[in-house]
Homo-oligomer: A and B are copies of this chain.
Amino acid sequence: MEILEALPAFAALAQETRLETLSVLAKTGPKGLSAGSLAGCLGASAPTLSFHLKELTRAGLIHSRKEGRSVIYAVDYGGMRGLIDYLITDCCHGDRRLCGPYIVNPNAG
């Protein structure tokens, strides 16, 4: 992932409703949840949640599919992995002091 992809992804995480949406979808897994269920579960109006789901989609962190009259949203595994990898590898250079117990490139420094 390049910095110009990482920026909108971090921006997507920088908003409470979106971060909660992502957490819910991460826990839900590939089967996903409808826009309506998410709105109910998160206490947001339909237009507001639609706006945030579009932002998360644009950032590559979720994707959607249509099922009947619902739109089902699910976390995008590749996008999320890419973002975590950007943070740990490109931003923190795999430095154990920054990344703590998570991985870590033994050649970092």
Which A residues fall within an 8 A CB radius of B? 3-4, 6-8, 10-11, 13-16, 19-20, 22-23, 26-27, 29, 75, 77, 80-81, 84-85, 87-88, 90-93, 95, 97-103
Contacts and interface: CB of A to CB of B under 8 A. Distances in A.
A98 B102 CA distance: 13
Contacts of A13: 6, 10, 14, 87, 91
B7 A15 contact: yes
Contact of A103 (B3, B22, B91, B102): B102
A102 to B, nearest CB: 4
A19 B103 CA distance: 21
B92 A84 contact: yes
A23 B99 contact: no
Contacts of A6: 13, 19
B103 A101 contact: yes
A91 B22 contact: yes
Contact of A7 (B19, B27, B101, B103): B19
